[in-house]
């Protein structure tokens, strides 16, 4: 994907990023972001924007959020040196362990933060969407914690491949609605959650799970997930004795990645790399690699990069990982690509499965299929940078993926051993 932007424009935009001036007052990350929604949602978004501006960085709100993250969600999460992977790859490998956070992934950081904000804004109920199920579980847990009714929309395809998370949401008291329209995955679930929100924007709060959507969501989610990178940077200095040469994370909508990347953007010596879902191949419908193959357009209220055909029709995607199976990407990632501050690569389904196996056997850690894409990309980086130091964002644990793994990787291993 090539963005038509001159060197002077790239340098100007990067200076804005480094100065902390993105998004701007209109919710723009350079040319990306903004707010493209039905008129009925403008008052709700303006109310949310005021709430974010007035509440998010208040001392009492941050104290309440910090308390929940520490005493309930289990922060700070560990930084683990992956000794055996380091020996295999010839590089110094570190893992930021969001798989150890409550509910099993980074999603809880955003869910509890937005739920606290929703309660302060007087919301009576919460709606959310989910793909891999982790944001749904995190939203369900946060709402149970705060006593807020919650409804989660989930594509029928994702409900089948993430059945354990559906059960967890229901145990936590959340209503799970199967989405049978469209591609029956994350994009369709977001569509339905927005329809619900439009029907009652005054009393319903939409707890969006990734760094996508209309302003102020990409900023809000980034701010709530930035705890990952702040912790990781301090931990690297304390445990490794210096910054990594590269920071690598998987990218679907992009919340775990932007949360990890944000603290390292000013560090010019640190290479920032996102790994998207390469799926089965490079053709439309064969992958979910928006930053690699997408073109600018609007989806779910945000101007960013989209996987679309020559007529501008948004295309269905494919990934073995439900959480990366999305047709667009957060606008801040599009900006980091445009400025050259970050680069983005892909890992195929097969490479992700191989990464799951290697991480399990080498480190005793079962990563989520989403995280496995980052591990696969990190291995390629290590092959080109012998002796380098890299930090991998382990966005979640793989328990939720056992059904998919049973049909693929585990079945293959059983066939070889029989």
Q: pLDDT for 239-264, tens place per residue?
A: 999 999 999 999 999 999 999 999 99
Structure tokens at 288: 């979910």
Cβ neighbors of 97 (< 8 A, separation 6 or more) are: 77, 78, 79, 80, 394
pLDDT of residue 2: 44
Examine the residue annotation and report whether 86 is marked as an active-site residue of this protein. no
Cβ(91)–Cβ(389) under 8 Å? yes
Spatial separation of the C-alpha atoms in residues 287 and 268, rounded to whole Å? 31
Whole-number Å distance between alpha carbons of 400 and 326: 18
User: Partners of 305 in the beta sheet?
Assistant: 296
Distance of CA 238 to the CA centre of its chain: 26
Asked if omega into 23 is within 30° of 0 (cis), the reply is yes
CB 302 within 8 A of CB 327: no
pLDDT above 90 as % of the chain? 90
CB atoms within 10 A of CB 85: 25
- Please report the pLDDT score of residue 289 as a whole number: 98
pLDDT at site 1: 43
Cα(285)–Cα(319) distance, integer angstroms: 9
* 271 token code pair: 């290479």
Give the CA dihedral 105, 53, 251, 160, nearest 10 degrees.
50
Is 362 considered catalytic here? no
Q: Active site residue: 86, 139, 327, 395, which one?
A: 395
Q: Residue 162: its pLDDT value, please?
A: 84
* Listed residue (100, 65, 103) closest to 79, CA to CA: 100
Q: Which residues of the chain have pLDDT under 50?
A: 1-2
| 107, 139, 210, 400: the active-site residue | 107
Give dist(CA 384, CA 47) in Å, integer: 49
pLDDT at 183: 83
234 token code pair: 């301090």
If we measure between CA atoms, which residue out of 236, 225, 227, 233 comes closest to residue 80?
Answer: 236
Catalytic residue among 92, 129, 351, 363: 129
Task: Please confirm, yes or no, whether 379 is among the known catalytic residues.
Answer: no
Q: Which two tokens stand for residue 161?
A: 């491949």
d(CA 289, CA 102) in angstroms, rounded, equals 29
Residue 186: the pLDDT is: 82
Which residue, 397, 405, 412, is CA-closest to 161?
A: 405
Fold: same for 27-69+107-221 and 74-105+225-417: yes
pLDDT digits 0-9 by tens, 253-311: 999 999 999 999 999 999 999 999 999 999 999 999 999 999 999 999 999 999 999 99
Give the start-to-end residue ranges of the domains of the chain.
27-69+107-221, 74-105+225-417
Domain 74-105+225-417 is of which CATH architecture? 3-Layer(aba) Sandwich (3.40)
Nearest to 262 by CA among 232, 237, 292: 232
User: How is domain 27-69+107-221 classified at the CATH fold level?
Assistant: Rossmann fold (3.40.50)
């Amino acid at each position: 994907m090539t963005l038509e932007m001159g060197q002077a424009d790239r340098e100007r935009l990067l200076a804005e990023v480094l100065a902390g001036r993105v998004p701007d007052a209109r919710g723009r990350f350079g040319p990306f972001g903004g707010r493209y929604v039905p008129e009925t949602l403008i008052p709700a978004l303006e109310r949310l924007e005021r709430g974010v501006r007035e509440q998010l960085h208040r001392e009492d709100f941050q104290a309440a959020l910090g308390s929940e993250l520490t005493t309930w969600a289990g922060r700070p999460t560990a930084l683990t040196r992956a000794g055996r992977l380091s020996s295999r790859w010839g590089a110094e490998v570190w893992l930021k362990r969001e798989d150890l956070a409550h509910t099993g992934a980074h999603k809880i950081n955003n869910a509890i933060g937005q739920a606290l904000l929703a309660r302060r804004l007087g919301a009576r109920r919460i709606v959310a969407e989910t793909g891999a199920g982790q944001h749904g579980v995190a939203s369900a847990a946060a709402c149970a914690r705060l006593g807020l009714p919650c409804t989660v929309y989930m594509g029928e395809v994702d409900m089948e491949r993430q059945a354990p998370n559906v059960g967890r949401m229901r145990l936590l008291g959340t209503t799970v609605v199967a989405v049978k329209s469209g591609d029956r995955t994350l994009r369709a679930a977001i569509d339905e959650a927005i329809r619900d929100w439009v029907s009652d924007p005054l009393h319903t709060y939409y707890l969006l799970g990734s760094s996508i959507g209309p302003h102020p969501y990409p900023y809000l989610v980034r701010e709530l997930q930035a705890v990952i990178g702040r912790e990781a940077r301090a931990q690297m200095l304390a445990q490794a004795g210096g910054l990594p040469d590269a920071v690598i994370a998987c990218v679907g909508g992009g919340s775990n990645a932007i949360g990890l990347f944000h603290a390292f953007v000013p560090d010019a010596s640190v290479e920032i790399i996102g790994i998207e879902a390469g799926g089965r191949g490079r053709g439309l419908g064969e992958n979910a690699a928006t930053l690699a193959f997408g073109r600018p357009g609007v989806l779910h209220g945000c101007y960013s990069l989209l996987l679309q055909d020559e007529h501008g029709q948004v295309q269905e995607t494919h990934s073995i990982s439900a959480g990366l199976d999305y047709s667009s990407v957060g606008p801040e990632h599009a900006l980091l690509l445009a400025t050259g501050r970050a680069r983005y690569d892909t890992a195929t389904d097969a490479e992700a499965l191989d990464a799951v196996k290697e991480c399990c056997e080498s480190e005793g850690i079962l990563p989520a299929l989403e995280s496995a894409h980052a591990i696969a990309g990190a291995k390629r980086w290590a092959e080109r940078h012998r002796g380098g130091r890299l930090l991998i964002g382990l966005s979640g644990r793989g328990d939720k993926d056992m059904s998919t793994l049973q049909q693929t990787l585990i079945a293959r291993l059983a066939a070889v051993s029989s």
